[in-house]
A and B are shown apart, each in its own frame.
Chain A
Amino acid sequence: DAKTTQPNSMESNEEEPVHLPCNHSTISGTDYIHWYRQLPSQGPEYVIHGLTSNVNNRMASLAIAEDRKSSTLILHRATLRDAAVYYCILREISSDSSYKLIFGSGTRLLVRP
């Protein structure tokens, strides 16, 4: 399984942008990059995903390096509600056409008021 590397924790001030990095140097050409986050005492929730091009949605932006060996999740204006553990995950396709999410330990984001 391809692996991702993320910092254990990061801090941000409220209403400032946050850049959460992820390294995935062993990524293969068909691996999608997914980001999920887990708020305290809740199940994970989907944030964004991409393959090669940068992606934007209502929650965040995903910037993918040209060689795809790293990516950055961008929260444009952090709020207190964004305090969570953020997981960068490589989605691999299984032989049964399913796919599995292999979670690492993620980055704990602390947001200061």
Chain B
Amino acid sequence: NAGVTQTPKFRVLKTGQSMTLLCAQDMNHEYMYWYRQDPGMGLRLIHYSVGEGTTAKGEVPDGYNVSRLKKQNFLLGLESAAPSQTSVYFCASRDQSWVYNEQFFGPGTRLTVL
């Protein structure tokens, strides 16, 4: 199993450009999450999904949109990138069962907005 994968690994954008980050998981998990991590700080939750076709806002949702059209994929979109969105983005997933509490994280996408 590949676990949680993220595409791309690195990206440089100019202010105002748009892009989509892809997160894929092969563990049949119901819940998926997008976080951002700024230098020297912990992760902050952007959006999350509790199942296919559902999305919800996290701590810092402004400037981002998400979609969960397929259970295994969770997309994060930036419609008009700003320098403040320069960060490392992590995706995570977890099983819906309360027996398993672990979130599995992807390797991250490093985004720079000039």
Instruction: Enumerate chain A interface residues (CB-CB to B < 8 A).
Output: 32, 34, 36, 41-46, 49, 87, 91, 96-98, 100-106
Q: Which residues of A contact B42 (CB under 8 A)?
A: 87, 103-106
Instruction: Enumerate chain B interface residues (CB-CB to A < 8 A).
Output: 4, 31, 35, 40-45, 48, 50, 56, 58-59, 90, 92, 101-108
A97–B31 CA distance with the chains assembled, in angstroms: 10
**CB–CB B40/A42 < 8 A:** no
**CB–CB A105/B102 < 8 A:** no
**CB–CB A98/B48 < 8 A:** yes
The secondary structure that dominates the A interface is loop
Given contacts A96-B56, A98-B31, A104-B42, are A49 and B108 in contact (CB under 8 A)? no
**CB–CB A43/B48 < 8 A:** no
The 24 sampled A-B contact pairs (Cβ below 8 Å) are: A34-B101, A36-B103, A42-B108, A43-B4, A43-B92, A43-B106, A44-B92, A44-B103, A44-B105, A46-B101, A46-B102, A49-B101, A87-B42, A91-B101, A97-B50, A98-B50, A98-B56, A100-B58, A102-B45, A103-B42, A103-B43, A103-B44, A104-B42, A105-B41
